[in-house]
Structure 1
Amino acid sequence: MTAAPGARNALTDVSGLLVGHHHVLDPDATRGSGAATGCTVVRAPGGAVAAVDVRGGGPGTRETDLLDPANTVRQVHAVLLTGGSAYGLAAADGVMSWLEEHGEGIPMSPDDPSRVVPIVPGAVIFDLPVGDWHTRPTADFGYHAADAAGPDFLRGCVGAGVGAQAGAIKGGVGSASIQFSDGVAAGVTVAALVVANPVGSVFDPRTGIPWGAGTDGPEFFGLRPGTAAELAAANALAVKSTVLNTTIGVVATDAPLDAAGCRRLATVAHDGLARAVRPAHSPLDGDTFFALATGTATPPPTPQLPSAFPADLPLIDALSTAAAVCVERAVVDAILAAEPVAGIPAYRTLFPS
């Protein structure tokens, strides 16, 4: 099958999805002072089929039980990714308020279309030590992020990625997409958006090349091994000062998947994370991936399979492979787009060559 990055190489290459950020960032932020936190909202106008897979041992989440394929609700209207640890879940209230104002949600009254209940699952990263401990995303953050959502969005130190730290270096928001032009997934797009905040390393200490470049090769990202001096400086950095971490994100497709198919995408997203971060899924990480399917694309008919297998199995297999690669690329995108914050060095400042 032939596949290439989408027009934006971003989550919003999946038709039906929008992304918005809201954050505060004090240019003079240091450890323990100055604001450095925010949130990112993925909106799905009209709703999208959804699922989730939580692999970290210390997750901070909201509405994830609802996304079990065995449960009744099949669609979400937005996903919140936020800083502020468990405090940051308050931002979901603002997302719900924005959606309610715009009539987005599960209809609850045939006589009053304003009576809706928006479904907004969410997950948090632990970024409290990066700036002022007491500055956290609030409902206002979520409202403004939902209001800002559109097809084009920034990466790096924005939204939920403002206070993110990836191992010893600055983390952030990254994204990537893959569009298929032939095969069982012809005309279908797969994409990922990641907030990279792991305790694990995101680059090979022997070369300086991000682990997430392993599948595509460093040339795909325009990278080459660091110099001896660059490697010495990068490897001398202190390890992350806290073991409370998390990488969270969304993988998505415009294929018409059911909840079980979405769950498979969320599961394999963690394969991409494990290839891009070493180690991943530690006991105190909250690594969580949501999966969304907007159903706006129409893939070609799939080959006939024995009745014991799902009819869309070949399609799900192709999308799963692409989802893991998108997560790898999104982690690399996050660290390449990041800039130093609160004394945390960025990848491009460590490896300028």
Structure 2
Amino acid sequence: MAEALWGKAALWPGLRVGHFTDLEALTGCTVVLVEEGWVGAADVRGAAPGTRETDLLLPENTVEKVNAVLLTGGSAFGLRAADGVMRYLAERKRGFLTPGGVVPIVPGAVLYDLGRGRVNRPPGEEAGYRAALAAGEEVEEGSVGAGTGAVAGGVKGGVGLAGYLLEEGYRVLALVAVNSLGRPFDPKTGRLYGEELLAGEERALLPDRSRYQGSPEDYRYPFLLGQNTTLAVVATDAPLSKAQARRLAIMAQDGIARAIRPAHTPVDGDLVFALAQGDGKGVDPYALLRLGAYAADAVTRAILRAVLLTEGAPGIPAYRDLMA
């Protein structure tokens, strides 16, 4: 039986996370730093993605390792934050070696949060640089970083982190920024989708639903149509090959579908990055199967943690506010 992890316990040496949060603009960015270079892959399931360097991560393409991954608000404007992450890494001479010097490899993806704050200020280069500078082993969750202005099916979205320690000794974690069209809860009962996966201590985060006023199931969603996306990074210390990291990302997508309904829609840009530490020689298929299964569970738990730990914003209630 795998051990559920969260917070500082979910990270390990070589892996750090940093946020930049702009409360006035209700936006921000989150950086996952793996400065020494980890095998990288990605899987895109939403039909409205905003991405940077994801083609580089295809198994058939040359560069295998990345130095950081950027998750950011600001829609396509937010991709500029990757320049700041590159600057941070270049100052430390981390990146792909070329005749002209190192080139940091920083794939990224965006979610839509434009117009949700008091000012219009998408994350830029300085935001990415500051997020990288802030990276550490303590990961704040809720309305921070890329989840600062996020909305999940009509309630406040945010950032969540969850992981597992497998019996084989490998670790796998998921960091998510939830800004979905689909709801993370059943509108008839108020129950969070996937909450049966929460670890014992995490269940204390669940609010009392006895006062919840239910509503009929409805997939018409008039709110925030086309202003959506759930982004995730799954990471493991297993020495996956690039193709295996891609399979890990594919399997982890199931965690989004378990926690959010509907998912992978025409107006979401749902995407999962995968990072694997080690020499890239690969693991046996059964080990990869278990890593992928637990990665999906970790994504579900991370989404639930994001929704449970976030605070409401003007005009956007937190999930727990609906239960009061």
Deviation digits for residues 69-127 of structure 1, max 9, x if unmatched? 00000000000000000000000001000100011111224xx8xx2100000000000
The superposition leaves residues 186-220 of structure 1 with CA deviations (integer Å, 9 ceiling, x where unpaired) of 21101000000000010112321211314458985
Residue pair 2:17, 2:30 contacting (<8 A) in 1 also: yes
Alignment partner for residue 326 of structure 1, among 298, 301, 307?
Answer: 298
Closer/same/farther in 2, CA of residues 345 and 233 from structure 1, 3 Å limit: farther
Q: 1:220 to 1:134 in 2, by over 3 A?
A: closer
Q: 1:20 to 1:219 in 2, by over 3 A?
A: closer
Which residue is 2:255 aligned to? 272
- Is 1:165 matched up with 2:151? yes
User: Partner of 1:156: helix, strand, or coil?
Assistant: coil
In structure 2, relative to structure 1, the CA distance for the partners of 1:59 and 1:297 (3 Å cut) is closer
Q: C-alpha distance in 1, partners of 2:280/2:174?
A: 17
Q: 1:350 to 1:24 in 2, by over 3 A?
A: same
TM-score by length of 1: 0.85
Matched-pair identity in % = 49
Q: Indicate if the aligned counterparts of 1:18 and 1:151 stay in contact, CA closer than 8 A.
A: yes
Return the match for 1:61 from 51, 54, 60.
51
Measured after TM superposition, the shift of residue 232 of structure 1 is: 4.1
Distance 1:350 1:217 in 2: 23
Against the structure 1 CA distance between its residues 78 and 234, is the aligned structure 2 distance closer, same or farther, given a 3 Å change threshold?
farther
Which ranges in structure 2 are unaligned for 5 or more consecutive residues? none
Alignment of 1:106-145 (within 5 A): 106-109=96-99, 115-132=101-118, 134-145=120-131
8 Å CA contact 1:61–1:122 kept in 2: the answer is yes
Q: Which SS does the other structure have where 2:160 is aligned?
A: strand
TM-score when normalising by structure 2:
0.92
Indicate conservation of the 8 Å contact 2:186/2:217, yes or no: no
Q: Tell me, what secondary structure is at the counterpart of 2:299?
A: helix
Contact 1:14 1:252 in 2 (8 A): no
Q: Give the corresponding residue for 2:14.
A: 16
Match of 2:191 in 1: 209
Whether the 8 Å CA contact 1:156–1:338 is kept in 2: the answer is yes
Q: How many residues align?
A: 321
- Pick from 265, 284, 299: which aligns with 2:267? 284
Secondary structure at 1:271 match in 2? helix
Letter matched to residue 55 of structure 1: R
Paired residue secondary structure (1:151): coil
Counterpart pick for 2:31 among 34, 41, 44: 41
Gaps spanning 5+ residues in structure 1: where? 27-34, 299-309
Residue type of the alignment partner of 2:16: L
- The secondary structure found in structure 2 opposite 1:314 is helix
Q: Contact 1:38–1:141 (CA<8 Å) still a contact in 2? A: yes
Amino acid paired to 1:106: F
Alpha-carbon deviation of 1:234?
11
Which one of 58, 64, 69 corresponds to residue 79 of structure 1? Answer: 69
